[in-house]
Amino acid sequence: MVKCSRCRQRKAKRRCPGLRSDLCPLCCGIMRGREVACPPACRFLAEHKPYREKKILEKKPAPPARPGRPPDDPWKDERTAWLALNIEAPLKEIGERDPAFTDGEAILALEYAKDKLSRGRNLILLPGEERTSRNDAGEMVFRSLQNCTYEGGLILTAAGDGYKSEEKFQCLDRLILAARFWTRKNFQGRAYLEHLTEQFARIAESSRRSKIIQPG
């Protein structure tokens, strides 16, 4: 009996194309997308993806501080608001370009960015390989998040004022909670994306009056 290359105990029933070794189903599930950069051609990844996305969307979020009203958003101070704008800007742009893009896909993109921020560097990569993106919208959000620097007082310093990881996590958590509020569990709809369009329109109008430069 061929044993799992990870646990060395259970029978290896799956060939892992990422590790190029055999795994038992349990270890495959534990490591998939977490410790191993699974190539998109892996059939176990493809079979698991719909289940994982459904689980992410249907997980119960923490109750809002004000029942029946939008949760506290990150617009309480200019620094956090700037980060939130840069995180949501890619979703707003995708939603305007692609009418088929849904609120559920937007939430998955935010969750993907949060997940990659927390453990993206811990994946096992083979020499000469790069981690294959499985969520293009999430990659756009993540890049915008990582590249964002705060332009305090609209004056960009030489190096820019970067954000700490804790600030990024807190902002993502608030935006995900707010997005879930706007969807009303209709993940195939576009209520959250329409809210983003209206929100950015208000910001653009305010920017024209005060001559503030928007992210982008």
The full set of domain ranges for the chain reads 14-58, 78-210
pLDDT tens for 30-65 read 888 777 878 878 888 878 777 777 777 777 655 544
C-alpha 25: how far from chain center: 27
Three-class secondary structure of residue 62 per DSSP: coil
Q: Tokens 């200019």 — which residue?
A: 78
pTM of the model: 0.67
111 vs 124: CA distance, rounded Å: 21
Closest CA to 87 of 141, 151, 161: 141
pLDDT tens for 4-37 read 999 999 999 999 988 889 999 999 988 887 778 7
138 vs 120: CA distance, rounded Å: 12
CB 87 within 8 A of CB 106: no
CB 36 within 8 A of CB 30: no
The mean pLDDT value of the chain amounts to 80
Higher pLDDT, 36 or 193: 193
Element (H, E) at 14: strand 14-16
